[in-house]
């Protein structure tokens, strides 16, 4: 983790120079400049070091990692002391705890000279690096490696291939798929269980998913539902997973297990359903929910996957039990080539060694996928491939350990800039569905992303994420309306690898169930806690302490109990606080001046967090009425996301008239949601020039109100990509003389009345990809777009829209992929021309009349006639 820690230190040094100059003593700025130069030197060294020789510098990596962490701690602690000293309530705190933790780095220097020892330590490392560079150059010359060759680099920034699917390619299991489908659609009317059994990584989930999305299976069953169970199951989690998979927007909040089970039972009653229960470890998981599966003799089926044949036998699968076999050498080679070369072919000089690598994976698909993902990004030379093959031969000692050994090898050969991001995945609980936007925000807050010119750190994080997906290290779960990946998971074996490597390198520690057997927390900078309570998925804190009760060991000082989390009052080193599913968060966070990321599902009063000078992300479920004016003095803010609407105060006026330097521009702010009564004055807009996502709400609005809100200034947000506007009382004046910025890609309008003359404004945006109209009214009851509009629109949603006639053709929506019409009672039909839209992938209908359903079925027929077998029509009438 040396590279990740160097990146984090770089961010700290740069922030100190940019935002904390007023707290530096004479001469310290020059020391930081010099230190920053040397830290970058170390980064470049690791970036360019040949990975096949990485074991030769493991000792140096540990030294670099320790020095970077301790240097960062010294600087942040001292700056925090100086910040708090300026507050009357904190006089006397300065240097209270700064040096005793870091005595190994500190030599007899003045207390204020905080960088001397750090500088000396880094300089010593530089000398050792220069020596290693000389030895490495000699190794390269002797082995014939080209100087400067990086055998495992990522694709260049901006050149990542698009991720077309979230599922792995399936090779060699077609025969098993046919048998499973036959059992699922057999003539038996009884509820039956079909089981898929095999070891971890052999492809059980992939096989089950291929069956689950098969067109014939989709048409045979009225309802198809998927749930991942996992080793540490609970009945509530299974029920929620099944209900969520139905996508019916069912309100499950506050309901007991029996109430959830009753909801599921009613949804399934009288229908032919297919339930997939993935990764079942215990018969008790089945017993806890089976009574909610109605037996109506409709031919319903349960498809489960498990590593344990005893589980399948206990559930009485009988002849409907399918063992997933290993791939043979031919299938392994075919799969390997698909992962490494895609549509291309293996060069002749790599074929022999490539077949050896595929053969050494011993038929395990996950091993082939991961090693293939590694080599797809590496420089394709015989020398590098031979080094991989040799390592595989030496590492694989038994069938039971083969996959973990291969996965470890793939981690060691990751580029340095991806290692920290990959290991970070282990912080999340097993089978946890991770939101990609949350993940990238956490990476940013941790400082483990390397900046790139003309890109935000969030953009860099997204590219790193896609790189890991393409290496088969991350699995895609859901995609959003624009086609971007929305959520992801990580395979159990890969998560185990992350936890094992992270704890070995002291990157983070995972506490599971027992808090009392953990002794090595003291040296950990990040702690992830999975509480035993089913309603608290996990708690994650980066470099801080948690305040527990008397039973809590001093090494941890943290405990989750009775759905309460306490933060220690002196945890000034806490940088990231991420809580999932906790009902209440107690106070005691007054001194967290180094906090960068705050995300809590509790109703913790966020009023006190404005003093957190380094805060980048605020995600809160707190019911607040007004944001504080201090928000305009937080220049490092990147994301503000509130579950409930709050008003944004006007920026403070400069005390000295004309003093432009006194204005704080929130140049990093990208997200602002959900703001009530937002006023688009020039004073506001010039302080948020780089806003990319904005969500606002107005209680009511008239033409006079729009003038007061300066709504026409929206066009000046030239980097805005996503805009959501909700009006509680429908208004027809919203689009009056309004011009949207050309950068807009996603538009959500809620509660709007559309005048016919203003409708072209919607279609005139050149980059619009997603349009969602909710609870809105077309005053003329007719919508006829003009040719040349909506040229890039991919997703269109109409929800409870008052519209009767829709006149359109394929030329009006030439790029449309997904159409969703929900509860539009007045609409007579979907334009028949949609059958000729070549890009169309799906139509989803909910609560619509018979005429619109019939028009959708005709469009489906046309799409299938055109050869679009992937087209999906989803209809639910209620």
Q: What confidence tens digit (pLDDT) does each residue in 275-325 have?
A: 999 988 888 888 888 888 998 889 999 999 988 778 888 887 566 788 888
Residue 251's pLDDT is what?
62
Average pLDDT over residues 468-491: 86
Sign of CA dihedral 602, 666, 444, 544: negative
Instruction: Give pLDDT, residue 102.
Output: 30
Whether residue 849 is predicted with pLDDT greater than 60 in this model: the reply is yes
Contacts of 370 (CB under 8 A, 6+ apart): 406, 407, 410, 471, 472, 473, 494
Please state at what angle helix 2-19 crosses helix 28-48, rounded to 10 degrees: 150
Helix, strand, or coil here: 658? Answer: coil
pLDDT at 737: 64
* Nearest residue to 531 (alpha-carbon basis) of 551, 554, 515, 544: 515
Q: Which of the residue ranges 10-14, 207-211, 652-656, 658-662 would you say has the lowest mean pLDDT?
A: 658-662
pLDDT at 622: 74
Cα–Cα distance, 242 to 229 (Å, whole number): 10
Summarize pLDDT for 665-711 with one digit per residue, the tens: 899 999 999 998 888 888 889 899 999 999 999 886 666 667 778 88
Is there a contact between 648 and 678 (Cβ–Cβ < 8 Å)? yes
- The residue with tokens 């003009």 is 786
Residue of 354 and 80 predicted with greater confidence? 354
Mean pLDDT, rounded, for 404-433 = 85
Region 747-768: what's the mean pLDDT? 88
pLDDT category of residue 215 using cuts at 50, 70 and 90: confident
* Average pLDDT estimate for 96-101: 30
Residue 247 above 80 pLDDT? Answer: no
**Residue 564: per-residue pLDDT:** 31
- Given pLDDT bands bounded at 50, 70 and 90, which one contains residue 617? very high
Domains and CATH numbers, the chain: 2-143 (no CATH), 174-323 (3.40.50.300), 327-414 (1.10.8.430)
pTM as predicted:
0.75
Q: Which of 117-126, 535-544, 808-817 has the highest mean pLDDT?
A: 808-817
Mean pLDDT, all residues of the chain: 78
Q: What is the pLDDT of residues 639-662, one digit of tens each?
A: 999 888 888 888 877 544 444 456
Mean pLDDT on 462-483: 86
Position 436 scores a pLDDT of 95
SS3 of residue 201 by DSSP: coil
Report the share of the chain in percent with pLDDT over 90: 24
Place of tokens 């010039």: 686
In the predicted structure, residue 384 carries a pLDDT above the cut 50: yes
Q: Out of 343-352, 448-457, 506-515, 709-718, which region has the weakest mean confidence (pLDDT)?
A: 506-515
* 108-138 pLDDT per residue, tens: 333 445 566 666 666 676 666 666 666 655 5
Q: Which residues contact 505 (CB under 8 A, 6 or more apart)?
A: 1, 65, 423
Compute the CA torsion angle 858, 860, 861, 864 (nearest 10 deg): 160
Interval 588-617 mean pLDDT: 70
Beta carbons of 42 and 6 less than 8 angstroms apart: yes
Write down the pLDDT at residue 560. Answer: 28
Q: Residue 228 has which token pair?
A: 């991942």
């Amino acid at each position: 983790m040396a590279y990740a820690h160097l990146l984090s230190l770089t961010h700290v040094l740069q922030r100190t120079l940019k935002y904390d100059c007023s707290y530096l003593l004479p001469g310290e700025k020059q020391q930081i400049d010099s230190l920053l130069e040397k830290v970058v030197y170390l980064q470049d060294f690791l970036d360019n070091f040949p990975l096949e020789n990485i074991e030769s510098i493991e000792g140096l990596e540990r030294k670099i990692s320790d020095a970077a962490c301790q240097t960062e701690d010294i600087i942040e602690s001292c700056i925090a002391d100086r910040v708090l000293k300026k507050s009357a309530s904190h006089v006397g705190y300065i240097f209270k705890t700064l040096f005793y933790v870091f005595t190994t780095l500190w030599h007899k220097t003045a207390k204020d000279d905080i960088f001397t020892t750090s500088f000396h330590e880094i300089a010593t490392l530089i000398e050792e690096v220069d020596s290693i560079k000389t030895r490495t150059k000699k190794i390269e010359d002797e082995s014939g490696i080209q100087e400067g060759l990086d055998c495992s680099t990522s694709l260049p920034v901006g050149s990542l291939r698009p991720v077309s699917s979230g599922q792995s390619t399936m090779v060699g299991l077609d025969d098993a798929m046919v048998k499973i489908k036959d059992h699922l659609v057999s003539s038996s009317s009884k509820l039956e269980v079909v089981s898929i059994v095999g070891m971890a990584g052999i492809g059980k989930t992939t096989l089950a998913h291929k069956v689950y999305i098969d067109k014939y299976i989709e048409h045979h069953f009225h309802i198809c539902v998927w749930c991942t169970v996992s080793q540490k199951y609970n009945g509530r989690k299974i029920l929620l997973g099944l209900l969520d998979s139905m996508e019916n927007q069912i309100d499950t909040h506050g309901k007991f297990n029996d109430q959830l089970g009753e909801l599921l039972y009613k949804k399934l009653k009288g229908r032919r359903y297919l339930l997939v229960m993935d990764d079942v470890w215990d018969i008790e998981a089945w017993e806890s929910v089976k009574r909610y599966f109605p037996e109506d003799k409709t031919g319903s089926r349960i498809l489960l996957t498990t590593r344990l044949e005893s589980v399948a036998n206990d559930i009485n699968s009988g002849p409907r039990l399918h063992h997933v076999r290993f791939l043979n050498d031919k299938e392994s080679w075919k799969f390997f080539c698909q992962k490494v070369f895609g549509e291309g072919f293996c060069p002749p000089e790599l074929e022999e060694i490539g077949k050896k690598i595929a053969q050494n994976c011993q038929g395990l698909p996950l091993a082939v996928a991961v090693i293939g993902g590694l080599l797809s990004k590496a420089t394709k030379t015989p020398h590098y491939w031979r080094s991989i093959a040799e390592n595989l031969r030496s590492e694989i000692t038994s069938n039971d350990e083969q996959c973990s050994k291969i996965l470890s090898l793939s981690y060691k050969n990751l580029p340095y800039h991806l290692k920290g991001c990959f290991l970070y995945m282990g912080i999340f609980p097993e089978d946890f569905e991770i939101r990609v936007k949350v993940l990238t925000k956490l990476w940013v807050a941790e400082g483990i992303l390397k900046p790139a010119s003309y890109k935000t750190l969030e953009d860099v994080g997204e590219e790193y994420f896609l790189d890991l997906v393409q290496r088969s290290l991350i699995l895609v779960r859901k995609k959003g309306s624009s086609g971007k990946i929305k959520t992801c998971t990580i395979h159990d074996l890969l998560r185990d690898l992350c936890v094992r490597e992270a704890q070995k390198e002291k990157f983070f520690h995972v506490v599971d169930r027992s808090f009392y057997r953990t002794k090595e927390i003291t040296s950990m900078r990040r702690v992830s806690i999975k509480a035993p309570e089913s309603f608290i998925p996990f708690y994650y804190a980066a470099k801080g302490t948690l305040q527990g009760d008397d039973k809590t060991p001093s090494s941890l000082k943290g405990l989750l109990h009775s759905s309460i989390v306490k933060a220690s009052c002196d945890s000034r080193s806490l940088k990231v606080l991420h809580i999932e599913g906790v009902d209440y968060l107690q106070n005691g966070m007054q001194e967290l001046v180094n906090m960068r990321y705050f995300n809590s599902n509790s109703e913790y009063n966020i009023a006190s967090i404005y003093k957190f000078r380094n805060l980048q992300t605020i995600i809160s479920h707190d019911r607040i009425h007004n944001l504080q004016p201090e928000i305009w003095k937080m220049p490092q803010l990147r994301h503000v996301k509130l579950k409930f609407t709050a008003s944004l105060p006007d920026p403070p006026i400069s005390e000295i008239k004309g003093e432009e330097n006194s204005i704080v521009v929130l140049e990093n702010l990208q997200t602002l949601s959900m703001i009530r009564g937002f006023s688009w004055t020039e004073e506001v807009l010039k302080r948020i020039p780089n806003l990319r996502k904005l969500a606002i709400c107005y209680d009511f609005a008239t033409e006079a109100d729009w003038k007061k809100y300066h709504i026409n200034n929206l066009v000046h947000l030239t980097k805005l990509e996503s805009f959501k506007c909700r009006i509680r009382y429908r208004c027809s004046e919203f689009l009056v003389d309004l011009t949207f910025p050309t950068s807009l890609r996603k538009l959500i309008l809620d509660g709007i009345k559309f005048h016919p003359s203003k409708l072209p404004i919607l279609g005139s945006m050149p980059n619009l990809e997603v349009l969602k109209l909710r609870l809105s009214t077309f005053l003329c009851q007719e919508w006829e777009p003009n040719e040349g509009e909506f040229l890039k629109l991919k997703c269109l949603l109409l929800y409870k829209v008052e519209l009767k006639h829709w006149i359109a053709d394929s030329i009006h929506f030439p790029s449309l992929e997904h159409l969703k019409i929900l509860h539009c009672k007045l609409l007579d039909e979907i334009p028949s021309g949609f059958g000729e839209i070549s890009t169309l992938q799906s139509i989803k209908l909910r609560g619509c009349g018979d005429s619109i359903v019939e028009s959708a079925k005709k469009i489906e027929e046309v799409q299938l006639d055109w050869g679009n077998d992937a087209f999906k029509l989803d209809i639910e009438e209620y």
